[in-house]
Amino acid sequence: MTTATQRILGVDPGLTRCGFGLIDMAGNRTASFVDVGVAGTDAADPLDVRVLRIWEATERWIERYRPDALALERVFAQTNVNTVIGTAHASGAVIASAARHGVPVAWHTPSEVKAAVTGEGRADKASVARMVVRILQLDEAPRPADAADALAIAICHGWRGGGTGVDATARTETHQGARPLAAARSGMTPAQRAWAEAEHRAKRGGRR
């Protein structure tokens, strides 16, 4: 692996199903599929056992692939409180494993992931899965949906700059500021251009 390539482990946290998606993101923003899978636990098991199982699964992924970064979907408020709590428990197990191995952790909201991959922050799961297939040149969408979502999270992290010090919307180091949007559009996929334009508009709005 060259220094310009970052290995990213995306995680869609959950106690019943926790999705793991691993990609390599090249310096030119080309994403390559490495592996994908889902760890599951039984709802009838004690909570401590379920959390331990997710931690153990994360340990296996990190120890086998040694990712440069771990991208996690941020716990998002939902009407189902039990689902939110379960997601938070699973996220904690994943974060603890990453911290143990010194792997940097980043969080992305569901809308950020959807916008990065499809160009639309309100895209449905089917649209996200289709774009994951196209971006990674897969034969079919990984199943269940948690697996495809994990890959989407990893792609989002790579395209947004991740831990590489690169601003994906500007094609320059983030601490040096961003180049004009027009200069950044060359070489981008349609989804990347849509994401760049959305971020550009958001930044302009924040300066008013």
Binding residues: 12, 73, 146
Using DSSP, state whether 7 is helix, strand or coil: strand
End-to-end Cα spacing for the chain:
43
CA–CA distances in Å: residue 41 to residues 49, 50, 174: 9, 6, 40
Q: Which of 24, 68, 73, 199 is catalytic?
A: 73
- Please indicate whether residue 73 is annotated as part of the active site: yes
- Report the length, in residues, of the chain: 208
Q: Which of 12, 24, 112, 167 is catalytic?
A: 12
Side-chain half-sphere CA neighbours of 194 within 13 A = 14
The whole-angstrom separation of Cα 153 and Cα 108 is: 7
Q: Which of 146, 149, 167, 199 is catalytic?
A: 146
Strand-pairing partners, residue 9, are 22, 70
Binding-site residues for Mg(2+), please? 12, 73, 146
- Please indicate whether residue 146 is annotated as part of the active site: yes
- Please indicate whether residue 24 is annotated as part of the active site: no
Q: In sequence order, what are the residues at sequence separation of 6 or more whose Cβ sits closer than 8 angstroms to the Cβ of residue 165?
A: 173, 174, 175
Question: For 101-127, b where at least 16 C-beta lie within 10 A, e where not — what string?
Answer: eebebbebebebbbbbbbbbbebeeee
Kindly report the number of other CB atoms within 10 A of residue 66's CB atom. Answer: 12
Pairing of strands 69-73, 31-40: unpaired
- Active-site positions read 12, 73, 146
